[in-house]
Structure 1
Amino acid sequence: MTYRFKARLSSEWVLEKPSGVLLPLSEVLRLLAAVDATGHIAGACKACGLSYRHGWGILRNAEKAFEAPLIETSRRQGSKLTTFGQHLIWANRRVDARLMPTLESMASELQEELQRLYPESQPRLRLHASHGFAVEGLMQLANGLDMSPLELRYRTAIEALASLDRDECDLAGFQVPVGEFELPILERYSQWLDPARHVLIHLAVRNTGMFVKPDNPKKIRSVADLVNPNVRFVNRQIGSSTRYLVDYMLRQLDIDTSRVQGFDSSEFTHMAIAAHIASGMADVGIGVETAAWRCGLAFIPLVEERYFFAAHRDTLSKPQMRRLLDLMNGEQYQAYVSQLVGYDAALMGKVQTLEEAFGPDYAAALAGA
C-alpha cells in the first residue's frame, strides 16, 4: 500500500503574559472572523463547532487578556466587531497572506523529503512559480487526486525561469501583460526562454489592477494618482513582475518612484496587498482582481495578464506531465478557475510554442537575445 499524507505548516498567534502564561489565539481569531461573517455570536459558535457557552468564554477571556472589548452586541442588530476586534482579524489575515507562500513551499519540501523514504514513492513534477490563485488551486487539486503530486516552490517569475534553465524544476510559472507592456516584460525573461528548447502551457488570463477602499476616499483613478498627497502605496517584493510593471508604468509617465509614498514597501502575495489596504495600513496597491473581491475592496483595472508554465520540450511526453495536462484540461479544474473573479480559463492547458504565444517578432527577439 502506498503511504499517503499531506504535510502542512501553519502560523499561530500566542500571547505571553508577564507571568509566563501563554494564551493561544487561534480559536479567538476564528470566532472573531465568524462573528464578522455571520453577524451574531450564536452563528459564529455554530460555524466554529463550539457551544455557545464555550464560545462566549473564549471571547471574554480574550477581552480580559487584551484589556479591550472585541465585540459589541445588541438585541436588534446582533453582534459586530469593535475597531480593536477588526484590527485583530485583519492583522491575522495579513500575517497569513504574507507567510502562506513560505509555509506552503516549506511544507512541500518537507513532504518530498519524507516521501523519498518510501521505496514505492513516485517521481514528482517540480513546479516553481509566482503565487497566484490558479496555481494554488492546481496544487490543491493535483495533490488530492491519484496522480503523482506536485512539488511546489513559490518564486518570482525570473527565479522560476532561471530554475528551469538550470533543470532545477520541470515547470516555471510566469505572467506577461497583454498590450504595450508585453515586450518590455518579455525582454526581462529573454535570457531564460529559448524557442528551441521551451514550450509554454497556457494557464489563464487574469485581470490586474489597483485595489482601493470601497468608497475610494482618496479618489484614485490611475497610476498617476500614486503621487497624490497622503496616498499610501503598498508594493510587491523586489524582483516580482508586478513591481517591475508598476515601475515601468511610472517611468512611462516620467514619474520618479521616490515620489510614491510606500514604493519601497513589499508584500509577497496579492492577498497580502489586499489585506494591507482593507486593514487601513495603505490606500492603494496592485494585484489580481480575485484578491480585491475576497477582501471587499474596489478594483480599478489596469492590464490583462496571461499566465504560463514554461517547460522543456522533451518533458511533455513524461507520464507525470501528461497527467497534469489532463487535469488542467479536465472539467473540475476548468470549473475551479472559471469561478475565480477576474480569471479567464478559455485557453487553459493549451500547449504553445513561444512564436504561437507571442508572435514571430517576439520569438525572433527572444532567440537573438
Structure 2
Amino acid sequence: MIRIEIQPRWRFHQSDGSSLDPQGLALLQAVHDTGKLTEAAARVGYSYRHAWNLLGKWQEFFGSPLIELERGKGARLAPLGEKLLWADQRIRARLSPQLDNLAGELELELNRVLQASNPGLRIFASHGFAVAALREWLEQDPSWQWEVQFRSGSEAMIALHRRDCEVAGLHVPVGPLGALSLKRIQPWLRPDLRVITFVERTQGLILAPGNPHGVQGLADLLRGDLRFVNREQGSGTRTLLESLLRRDDLDSAAINGFHNEEFTHAAVAAFVASGMADAGFGVEAAARQFGLTFIPMARENYCLLCHEDSLDLPAMGALLRVLQNPEFQTRIAQLPGYALSRPGEVMPLPQALEQWRKESLL
C-alpha cells in the first residue's frame, strides 16, 4: 500500500539574490515550548552549537534576532521569531487539508494501478479534529483504499446524494438551531439513509490569550475595535455562526472582518494567535492547540451518513470497528471540547431525526 505525504515548504528571498530555507522553524517551536535553548536543541536533534549557529545565520539574514536570552531566565522568542512561528503554523493549518486531499487522490490512483489493496470507502467530511484523527487511524490499516476528503458539509451531502462518496459527515446543533440546520439539508435527506453516531463537539468564540478585549459574547463582535476572522462560505461552522447571529438579531455586516475567510478551525485559531485578528469562531480544540481563550456558544452532534446498501460493503465493517475501538475512542476523548456519542452505532434516519427534533425542543 503506497502512502503519499505532501507538506508545504517556503523560502525567504532578499533583493540581493540571497535566500534562506526556514529549516529552523522546528527549533523555534521547541524554544517556545521549553523556554531553554539547550532543551530545544535536544528536542529537535541538534547540538547546542549547531542550534546557535543556525540562529545566528537567520539573524544575519534578517538583521534581527529570533530569540532573546536572559541569564537565569532561559530563552524566549523575539518578536520576529514569534511572527515566523505563527506564519508557519498558519500556512500548515490552511494548506494541509487541501494537500491531504490531493495526496489521498494520488494514493488511490497509484494503488489501483498497483492493486495494492481492496476497495475501501470514500468519506467526505468537513475538516475537524475528530475527522482528522479518524483519517489517521484508518490509514494505519493498509488493506483498504481509504479516501478521506475534507469537504464542506453541504458539499459532502451533495456528494452522498450523487453517490460520489459512500460516507458523508454531518453536524447538527443541539437545541432549536438543530431544526434550522436540518431544514437546509432537507432536499438531500432520503429515507434509505443511515446515521452512524460519532461525537459531540463544542463551538464558540476563539480569542487572544487572556481575552484582552473583554469579549463576553457575540454582540461584542459588532464593536468597531475588534477584527474578526471567519470560516469559508458554505462551511457548517459558518452556517452555525450565521444562525446564532440571526437568533440574537445581530447584523453580520457590522462585524469588522466577517468576510475574512479561513478554511479550517486550526487556520482560524492560527490567524488569531498571530495577532492578525482579535476573534474567530470554531471548535474548542483549535483554541486550546494555540493557547487561546475560548467562550463556548453551541454544541453539535457530529455524525456520519451513508446509504443503507453501503452498510453491506466490507470496508464499512472496518470503519465501524474503528469507531468502536476503545483505543480510538480514548484518542477522541482527549480532544478538548469533544465528547463521545456512542460512536459506531447505526440507526435509521427517521429515528435520528426524531432524536434531534426532541433536542431542538429543549
| Amino acid in the other structure paired with 1:22 | S
Kept in 2: contact 1:147–1:323 (CA 8 A): no
Distance (whole Å) between structure 2 residues aligned to residue 108 and residue 324 of structure 1: 17
Q: In the TM superposition, what are the counterparts of 1:166-185 in structure 2 within 5 Å? A: 166-185=162-181
Change (3 A) 1:256 1:148: same
Distance (whole Å) between structure 2 residues aligned to residue 36 and residue 361 of structure 1: 44
Is the aligned partner of 1:8 residue 2:1? Answer: no
Offset of 1:24 from its aligned partner?
A: 0.9
| Amino acid in the other structure paired with 2:169 | G
| Amino acid in the other structure paired with 1:214 | P
The one of 191, 200, 203 equivalent to 2:195 is 200
Give the corresponding residue for 1:344.
339
Q: Secondary structure at the match of 1:214?
A: coil
Offset of 1:120 from its aligned partner?
A: 4.3
Distance (whole Å) between structure 1 residues aligned to residue 147 and residue 106 of structure 2: 10
Give the corresponding residue for 2:263.
268
Give the corresponding residue for 2:222.
227
User: Could you tell me the percent identity over the aligned residues?
Assistant: 39
Q: In the TM superposition, what are the counterparts of 1:71-150 in structure 2 within 5 Å? A: 71-150=67-146
Distance (whole Å) between structure 2 residues aligned to residue 254 and residue 303 of structure 1: 17
Give the corresponding residue for 2:212.
217
User: TM-score normalised to the size of structure 2?
Assistant: 0.95
Distance (whole Å) between structure 2 residues aligned to residue 28 and residue 119 of structure 1: 40
Distance (whole Å) between structure 1 residues aligned to residue 124 and residue 193 of structure 2: 15
Give the corresponding residue for 1:187.
183
Offset of 1:231 from its aligned partner?
A: 1.2
Give the corresponding residue for 2:58.
62
Give the corresponding residue for 2:21.
24
RMSD of aligned alpha carbons:
1.5
Q: In the TM superposition, what are the counterparts of 1:153-172 in structure 2 within 5 Å? A: 153-172=149-168
Change (3 A) 1:127 1:360: closer
Q: Deviations over 1:291-329 (max 9, x none)?
A: 111111111111111111110100112110001101110
Q: Secondary structure at the match of 1:333?
A: helix
The one of 331, 335, 341 equivalent to 2:330 is 335
User: TM-score normalised to the size of structure 1?
Assistant: 0.94
Distance (whole Å) between structure 2 residues aligned to residue 310 and residue 192 of structure 1: 11
| Amino acid in the other structure paired with 2:281 | I
The one of 344, 351, 358 equivalent to 2:353 is 358
How many residues matched? 358
Distance (whole Å) between structure 1 residues aligned to residue 120 and residue 223 of structure 2: 49
The one of 284, 290, 293 equivalent to 2:288 is 293
Offset of 1:141 from its aligned partner?
A: 1.0
Q: Deviations over 1:54-80 (max 9, x none)?
A: 111111111111111100002200000
Change (3 A) 1:234 1:120: closer
Q: Secondary structure at the match of 1:347?
A: coil
Kept in 1: contact 2:2–2:116 (CA 8 A): no
Kept in 1: contact 2:320–2:344 (CA 8 A): yes
Q: Unpaired runs of 5+ in structure 1?
A: 364-369
Q: Secondary structure at the match of 2:149?
A: strand
| Amino acid in the other structure paired with 1:325 | L
Distance (whole Å) between structure 2 residues aligned to residue 188 and residue 267 of structure 1: 23
Distance (whole Å) between structure 1 residues aligned to residue 116 and residue 335 of structure 2: 36
Q: Unpaired runs of 5+ in structure 2?
A: none
The one of 312, 315, 318 equivalent to 1:320 is 315
Is the aligned partner of 1:152 residue 2:126? Answer: no
Offset of 1:355 from its aligned partner?
A: 2.2
Q: Secondary structure at the match of 1:36?
A: helix
Offset of 1:17 from its aligned partner?
A: 3.0
Q: Secondary structure at the match of 1:359?
A: helix
Distance (whole Å) between structure 2 residues aligned to residue 329 and residue 73 of structure 1: 49
| Amino acid in the other structure paired with 1:274 | A
Distance (whole Å) between structure 2 residues aligned to residue 338 and residue 361 of structure 1: 22
Distance (whole Å) between structure 1 residues aligned to residue 222 and residue 317 of structure 2: 48
